[in-house]
Amino acid sequence: MEETKNSVVILIVDDDELVRMTLSVLVGSLGYHCLVAGDGIEAIAVLRSTPVDLVLTDIVMPGMDGLELLAHIHEHHKGTDVIVATGFHAKASYAEVIKAGAIDFIKKPIDQAELDAKLARAMRERNLVRKLELLSKQDSLTGILNRRAFDEHFSYEMERAFRQKYSLMLAVIDIDNFKEYNDKLGHQEGDKALMSLAEIMKECTRESVDMCFRLGGDEFAVLLPQATASQGTEIVQRILLTFLERNFGGTSLSIGLISCKRNKQVSKEEDEQAMKKQADQAMYDAKKSGKNCVVTRA
């Protein structure tokens, strides 16, 4: 989703109250939502509690200066950009702050037209980065998320489900006899089957809750947060039956469905790999059972 001015949150950080309030009024008049902090420590507290798109910070401040705040944001808040503002030009050069991770540098006293231009450019660049990130995580054929996105979402959803104490189901789906279908009718017809399965997965899952992925070839996956084993089974059975109704020759689906429960006795990475392997194995067991079925490991 593209950022617009009224959806963008900008945090003003300056130890001078008059400067802070003046910049807040100025940024607000440009159409952005504005927050304020009196120093780097206060800014970190705001960042922990509120999603912030961009920080406009002074360099020279007591306690934690602007460059220290910039380093903290660069490490802990990857989605937040920083513009550095200062009247002490000798304290840090443009090259130094850009090298440290800032996206821009502005000198005090701040000119409204210059600030407006710099903020507008920052928003254009953020929107471009978002579009590029989306493209890098989207399967070019089916339009659903790809394996890279799956790895990221799975890791995040596993941890969130454990933290918030709700269930998470993972289904791995493979098209039975796809190679024969593809070889017999050609890649164009094979692509139609793949695109149709992606459409079916989106139709049969919960919008804005479940996530659909193409892992590669004829292998797909679905993440089902806050779904019980019975709910997960119902969803994937619906995918299987709908795909059969579309009648792609002798193809069908083998589906492995597992309940993802965090095992704190092993590392997060080991646990994630074990879960993925368990889902793959359930899918292979479905194939061994004659294909065209769901094997659940809850």
Find the mean pLDDT for residues 132-159: 92
Which domains are assigned to the chain?
5-136 (3.40.50.2300), 147-297 (3.30.70.270)
pLDDT of residue 135: 82
Contact 208, 232 (CB under 8 A): no
257 falls in which pLDDT band (50, 70, 90)?
very high
Find the mean pLDDT for residues 17-39: 94
Sign (positive/negative) of CA torsion 122, 124, 127, 131? negative
Q: Is the pLDDT reported for residue 90 higher than 60? A: no
132 falls in which pLDDT band (50, 70, 90)?
confident
Find the mean pLDDT for residues 5-16: 91
* DSSP state string for the chain: ----GGG-EEEEE-S-HHHHHHHHHHHHHTT-EEEEESSHHHHHHHHHHS--SEEEEES--SSS-HHHHHHHHHHH-TT-EEEEEES-TTT--HHHHHHTT-SEEEESSPPHHHHHHHHHHHHHHHHHHHHHHHHHTB-TTT-SB-HHHHHHHHHHHHHHHHHHT--EEEEEEEEETHHHHHHHH-HHHHHHHHHHHHHHHHHHS-TTTSEEEEEETTEEEEEEET--HHHHHHHHHHHHHHHHHH--TT-EEEEEEEE----TTS-HHHHHHHHHHHHHHHHHHHHHTTSSEEEEE-
Q: Is the pLDDT reported for residue 88 higher than 70? A: no
Pick the residue with more confidence: 134 or 20? 20
Q: Is the pLDDT reported for residue 2 higher than 70? A: no
Closest CA relative to residue 70, chosen from 79, 59, 95: 59
Q: Are strands 219-225 and 211-216 parallel, antiparallel or unpaired?
A: antiparallel
The encoded tokens of residue 168 equal: 């998470």
Closest CA relative to residue 142, chosen from 201, 208, 241, 214: 214
222 falls in which pLDDT band (50, 70, 90)?
very high
pLDDT of residue 119: 95
Tally the C-alpha atoms within 13 A of residue 141's C-alpha that lie toward its C-beta.
19
Q: Is the pLDDT reported for residue 24 higher than 80? A: yes
98 falls in which pLDDT band (50, 70, 90)?
confident
Task: Report percent pLDDT > 90 for the chain.
Answer: 79
262 falls in which pLDDT band (50, 70, 90)?
confident
34-74 pLDDT, tens digit per residue, is 999 999 999 999 999 999 999 999 998 988 989 999 999 99
pLDDT of residue 93: 76
The encoded tokens of residue 114 equal: 């210059």
Q: Is the pLDDT reported for residue 1 higher than 60? A: no
Q: Is the pLDDT reported for residue 89 higher than 60? A: no
Strand ranges of the sheet holding 54-58, from the earlier edge strand across to the other edge: 33-37, 9-13, 54-58, 81-86, 104-107
Contact 150, 213 (CB under 8 A): yes
pLDDT of residue 3: 64
pLDDT of residue 63: 86
pLDDT of residue 251: 97
The encoded tokens of residue 18 equal: 């008059």
Residue 50, amino acid: T
Q: Please state, in angstroms and rounded to a whole number, the distance separating the CA atoms of residues 40 and 60.
A: 10
pLDDT of residue 184: 94
Find the mean pLDDT for residues 203-226: 96
**Mean of pLDDT over the chain:** 92
Contact 240, 253 (CB under 8 A): yes
112-131 pLDDT, tens digit per residue, is 999 999 999 999 998 898 88
- 27: Cα separation from own chain's centroid: 28
Residue 74, amino acid: H
